Amino acid sequence: MWRNSVGFSSKLLTSKSSYSRLPLLNHGVASRSTSTSAGSGPESTEAAGTVKVGFSSTEWVRTGSPGSSAVDLSSFAAASVLKGRDIVDMAKHYGRCYAELSKARLRMLANKLHNIVPPCTFAASFSSNYTVISMLVVATSGTGYILGSGSAIDYMGLCCTCAGTMMVAASASTLNQVFEVKNDAKMNRTKKRPLPSGRISIPHAVTWAASTGMLGTALLASKANMLAAGFGASNLVLYAFVYTPLKQIHPINTWVGAIVGAIPPLLGWAAASGQVSLNGMLLPAALYFWQIPHFMALAYLCRKDYADGGFRMYSLADASGQRTASVALRNCLYLLPLGYLAYDWGLTSGWFCLESTLLALAISGTAISFYMNRTTKDARRMFHASLLYLPVFMSGLLVHRVTESEQQMTVEHTGKIIEMSPLLETTEEAQEEKRKQSIGNGQCRPPVAYASVAPFPFLPAPSYSTF
C-alpha cells in the first residue's frame, strides 16, 4: 500500500510538471536555446535581435521519480525569476521613454546648459539643476494656488492641482516632440530622444499624450473647478498647436511661449479661488516678463542649434545681438514695479516691495551689461540671473503674503481710527471752550496783586481788565 501511495504522488507531481512552457521575452538580445525531447535532442539557433519564446534550458522530462519533480520545480522558479526581470526591464524602458517625452522642454534646456556650462562642471552640477528645474515647473501653479487660497489652504486641492498641471504639461511636451520629430533628428542634441532614436513609435507617443492630457484635465475639473480645467486645456492647445508650429514660421513664437508659461500660476489661482481677479494677474505678469530675457539669452547662446533645427528664433535675424539685448533689457525693466503693485494691492507686505525691487535691479544690471557688450559671457550671466530671479521672487511672495483675515483686520483698525478722530477733535474743542469760559468768568490776578495787599497796604490794588 505504501508503494502504491508513492507511485500516485509521483504521478501527480509528474502531471503538474508537464504543463506548457511559459514565454520569456528577451528584448534585443541574441538568444540560443537547445530543446531536448524525451527521445531525441535537436538544437535550434535563432538570429540576433529576435524574441525567444520558451526556456533556454532542456525541456521538462516526464518521469515518475520524485527527484525529477524537484528539478522541474527549481527550473520553474528560475524561469519565473527571469520573467520577472524581463517585466521590470520593459517597465524601465517605457518609463524612461515616457519621462523623456514628458520633460521635452526640460531636456532641451539641459542640452543647452550642457553647451553653456563647461563639460568638466556640467556632469557634476546638472543632476541637481535638473531637479530644481523640474520643481520650478510645479512651483508656478502651486504658488498661484497658495496665493489664491487666502488664510486657509486646502493641501489636497493643492496636490491635485499640481498633479493635473504636470499631466497636462506632459501631454503638451509629448505632442511637441511628435510634431518636431524630423527637426529633432537633424540636431545632435535632440536626435537621441525617444522618437528620433526609434525607441518608441509615434502612435505610442500620441496615445501617451492623449491619455495624460485627458486625465490631467479631468483631475483639474473634478478636484478643482471647470475654470482651472479650461485653463489647462487651453494651455495644452496653445502650446502644442500654436506655439510649436510658430517655432518654424515666425520669431513671435517667443512671446507666444511666454503666454504659455504665464498660464500655470493663473490656473493655480483659479483652482483655489474659483475666479480671476486683478491680484491673481501679478505672478503671471512676472512670469511673462521674466521669460523674455531668459529665452533671449538662450536664443543668443544657442543660435547654431536653432539654425540647424530649422527654428525661426529672434536672435537668428540679429547678427550683432543689439535688438536681442534691447528686448531683454526692456522686459527686465518691466519687472521693477511689480513689488510695489503687490504691496499696493494688499497682496504682500512692504518688505516684499523692497526685495522685489532689488531683484529686478540685479537682473536689469546683467541685461544692461549684455546690451553694452553683447558677448557670450554677458549672455550667460544674464541667463544665470534669470534662473535665480524666479525662485527668489516666488519665495518672497509666499513669505510676505498677506491673507484675507490680516487684510480685514487692517481695514477694521483703520476704520476705527477714522471713526475716533472726530470724537477726539470734539473733546479738544470742548476743553478749549471750557478754558476760555473759566478765564472770562473768574478773576485771574497775578501773584503781585496778592503781594501788594499784606506787605504794602498803602499801595492800591491794581485792577485788571477781563479778557
Over range 211-231, report the average pLDDT.
95
CB-neighbour burial class of residue 397 (10 A; exposed 0-12, middle 13-18, buried 19+): buried
- Residues 285 and 266 placed together within one structural domain of the fold: no
- Residues 313 and 393 placed together within one structural domain of the fold: yes
Over range 256-278, report the average pLDDT.
93
Q: Which three cell numbers stand for residue 176?
A: 511637441
- Residues 235 and 367 placed together within one structural domain of the fold: no
Q: What is the pLDDT at residue 9?
A: 42
Q: How many domains does the chain have?
A: 2
Rounded Cα gap, residues 323 and 289, in angstroms: 16
Confidence of residue 410 (pLDDT cuts 50, 70, 90): low
Confidence of residue 242 (pLDDT cuts 50, 70, 90): very high
Give the model confidence (pLDDT) of 39-59 as tens digits: 444 344 433 333 444 444 444
Question: CA dist 216 to 170, 243, 362, 430, Å?
Answer: 9, 20, 37, 69
- Residues 313 and 203 placed together within one structural domain of the fold: no
> Which residue, 277, 294, 329, sits at the end of a domain?
277
Rounded Cα gap, residues 467 and 442, in angstroms: 10
- Residues 245 and 294 placed together within one structural domain of the fold: no
pLDDT at 218 over 90: yes
> Which residue, 232, 251, 277, sits at the end of a domain?
277
pLDDT at 413 over 90: no
Between these two residues, 100 and 397, which has the higher pLDDT value?
A: 397
- Residues 91 and 173 placed together within one structural domain of the fold: yes
Residue ranges making up the domain that contains 329:
279-404
Q: Are 175 and 244 in contact (CB under 8 A)?
A: yes
Range with lowest mean pLDDT among 15-24, 177-186, 312-321, 448-457: 15-24
Rounded Cα gap, residues 378 and 396, in angstroms: 27
Q: Which three cell numbers stand for residue 39?
A: 527521445
Range with lowest mean pLDDT among 88-97, 115-124, 377-386, 431-440: 115-124
Rounded Cα gap, residues 285 and 296, in angstroms: 17
Q: What is the pLDDT at residue 7?
A: 46
Confidence of residue 111 (pLDDT cuts 50, 70, 90): very low
User: Among 46, 55, 49, 51, which residue's Cα sits nearest to residue 26?
Assistant: 51
Rounded Cα gap, residues 55 and 139, in angstroms: 50
Please indicate, yes or no, whether the overall pTM of this predicted structure exceeds 0.75.
no
Beta-strand (E) ranges in 357-435? Answer: none
pLDDT at 80 over 60: yes
Over range 394-416, report the average pLDDT.
71
Give the model confidence (pLDDT) of 312-323 as tens digits: 888 888 888 899
Would 299 be classed as within a structural domain? yes
Q: What is the CATH number of the domain that holds 268?
A: 1.10.357.140
- Residues 84 and 220 placed together within one structural domain of the fold: yes
Question: How many CA within 13 A on the CB side of residue 297?
Answer: 30
- Residues 393 and 260 placed together within one structural domain of the fold: no
Would 58 be classed as within a structural domain? no
- pLDDT averaged over the chain? 74
> Which residue, 277, 305, 333, sits at the end of a domain?
277
- Residues 243 and 290 placed together within one structural domain of the fold: no
Q: What residues have CB less than 8 Å from 268, skipping those under 6 apart?
A: 140, 141, 142, 143, 144, 145, 146, 147, 148, 161, 165, 228
Would 70 be classed as within a structural domain? no
Confidence of residue 419 (pLDDT cuts 50, 70, 90): low
Place of cell 531536448: 36
Range with lowest mean pLDDT among 90-99, 181-190, 264-273, 458-467: 458-467
Would 386 be classed as within a structural domain? yes
Question: CA dist 347 to 153, 223, 342, 409, 414, Å?
Answer: 16, 26, 5, 14, 17
Between these two residues, 348 and 454, which has the higher pLDDT value?
A: 348
Phi, psi of 436 (to 5 degrees): -65, -40
Range with lowest mean pLDDT among 22-36, 177-191, 335-349: 22-36
- Residues 142 and 269 placed together within one structural domain of the fold: yes
pLDDT at 404 over 70: no
Q: Which three cell numbers stand for residue 389?
A: 530671479
- Residues 229 and 271 placed together within one structural domain of the fold: yes
Give the model confidence (pLDDT) of 350-402 as tens digits: 999 999 999 999 999 999 999 999 999 999 999 999 999 999 999 999 999 98
Q: What is the pLDDT at residue 430?
A: 66
- Residues 251 and 350 placed together within one structural domain of the fold: no
pLDDT at 73 over 90: no
Over range 451-463, report the average pLDDT.
51
Would 155 be classed as within a structural domain? yes
